[in-house]
Amino acid sequence: MYCAVDEISDLNDRLIGLQHTKDQDREMFEQQLQQIRNEHRETNEQLSSDNMMLSTFFIRVSIMNVV
């Protein structure tokens, strides 16, 4: 006969398993989010650098055209 104590124990085991899975998923998503943030920062830095180079280039070209 299946008693309430066994059912509670089974539900508790299931809850622990679900919490463990949730924690693993959260950690995985946090790592992915950090990776995306890092990639975004690197891309932003690269684009800023490219913009500075292009600005300098256009200024030089403008100066050369004036002379």
Q: Mean pLDDT throughout 53-59? A: 94
Round to whole Å and give the CA distance between 37 and 30.
Answer: 10
The pTM of this model reads 0.69
Q: What is the pLDDT of residues 23-43, one digit of tens each?
A: 999 999 999 999 999 999 999
pLDDT at 1: 58
Radius of gyration of the chain from its Cα atoms, rounded to whole angstroms: 29
pLDDT at 3: 86
Q: Does residue 2 surpass a pLDDT of 80?
A: no
Query: What are the helix and strand counts (H, E) for the chain?
Result: 1, 0
